[in-house]
Amino acid sequence: MGSLAFAILRRSFYLAVLPLAGLYVLVPLLFQTVPEFMQHAFFLNFVKVPFLDYTNLTYHGVAHLGRNFRLPEIGARVLCKGEEPVLGVWHVLPASLSRRLEAEIEAGTRKPLTDADYEALLDAESHGVVVYFHGNSFDRTNAHRVDLYNRLADLDFHVLAIDYRGYGDSTGFPSEDGLIEDAHFIYNYARARAPTKNIYVWGHSMGTGVSARFVAELSDLGIPPVGTVLESPFNNLHDVVTHHPLSRPYRWLGERFNRLIVDRWVDSGLVMHSDERIVKHKAPLLILHAADDHIIPVKLGKKLFEAADKAGVDVKYVEFEANLGLRHKFIHKAPHLADILKEFFQRCEAFTTSRKPTKRHEEVHIDA
């Protein structure tokens, strides 16, 4: 009986451990031999819900009037197998404007909005336009992202939310240079159709890496956004990869882990050194991070804040304590978030005037 139990335990051990051991060896091997695997492993754009209807914003929880549209990247320099990508985009109207238009449509004094109407309304009454860049995996329909769109619309902002190339219903496949070009296309779209409005950039998780480089490039061009919000950010690729939960089995390799994994990503064109790029930002910056973030440790967001502060960027760092349970993607539910954003947006507006406020470097911790 004892030998039978031992045999069962041994078999169970092999069944549990051998697949993990094989994966442990297979992942570095794939990094060395299959470049496409490296990109997929970082961007996770293959993680998606199939057969989604992107045209019905209400079905996905958007609380205000909005539209789904396609943005072709005509003249794109970073092509996908020789073709220009086409991005899937949502435009969500500000709450007060949405309510007024809904009432007019219901009363029969206005026809349902057309695509041309939405484009014209982008420059209509509002506090401005927020261009949102999401993190890796899934798409613009994710519930936590939709809740943020609603909250920004409640503050009377237009929201433009894209899916990068290869995500959602956007065509092509992702690369760092490609995502940056996607960001330029949607930003230029907003500038062309909302010339009188302030434009803000909001990035979450991987989207903070996109935003940090993108805004640095805009600053070099002399056309920075009025302000930038980085939610749950990281300081650089090396640190975010080595601190990610999935890298835990490889950390004991030390410098060999860098050569096997991180360096291979860099060689493929994936850099995302936000701490180097953020020093070029020419507009106020707000960094939001949760102390209990289990994907990107809060210390990486703090390092990014320190890099911006050292470079003289106007920056405010807000850390939400662990007792709030906001983790990596629920900062949109944070207490006082609306007040934090209102204060930040007002400060950004002040920077557009001739009497700019004194630059600040402020750190705030919120626990209730």
Residue 183 has a pLDDT of 98
Which residue is catalytic, options 205, 211, 232, 274? 205
Residue 253 has a pLDDT of 72
How far is the first Cα of the chain from the last one, in angstroms, to the nearest whole number? 58
Residue 72 has a pLDDT of 98
Residue 2 has a pLDDT of 53
Contact (Cβ atoms closer than 8 angstroms) between residue 136 and residue 166:
no
Structure tokens at 230: 């980085």
Residue 75 has a pLDDT of 97
Q: What letter would DSSP give residue 307?
A: H
Residue 8 has a pLDDT of 57
Q: What letter would DSSP give residue 109?
A: S
Residue 215 has a pLDDT of 98
- What does the alpha-carbon distance between residue 261 and residue 31 come to, in Å, rounded to a whole number? 6
Residue 243 has a pLDDT of 84
Contact (Cβ atoms closer than 8 angstroms) between residue 59 and residue 105:
no
Active site residue 184: no
Residue 9 has a pLDDT of 55
Active site residue 134: no
What contacts 77, CB < 8 A, 6 or more positions away?
181
Q: Where are the domains of the chain?
A: 1-33, 47-366
Structure tokens at 65: 């009037």
Structure tokens at 135: 């993190």
Nearest to 235 by CA among 311, 173, 181: 311
Model confidence, pTM? 0.91
Which residue is catalytic, options 169, 182, 275, 293? 293
Token pair 């209509």: residue: 124
Active site residue 328: yes
pLDDT, averaged per 10 consecutive residues of the chain (368 residues), comes to 56 53 61 69 90 97 98 97 97 97 97 96 92 96 98 98 97 96 98 96 98 98 97 95 78 77 83 96 97 97 97 97 97 96 95 78 88
- What does the alpha-carbon distance between residue 360 and residue 355 come to, in Å, rounded to a whole number? 15
Residue 22 has a pLDDT of 54
CATH for 47-366? 3.40.50.1820
What contacts 208, CB < 8 A, 6 or more positions away?
230, 231, 232, 233, 234, 274
Residue 204 pairs in a beta bridge with 231
Residue 266 has a pLDDT of 83
Which amino acid, one-letter code, is at 265? W
Residue 23 has a pLDDT of 53
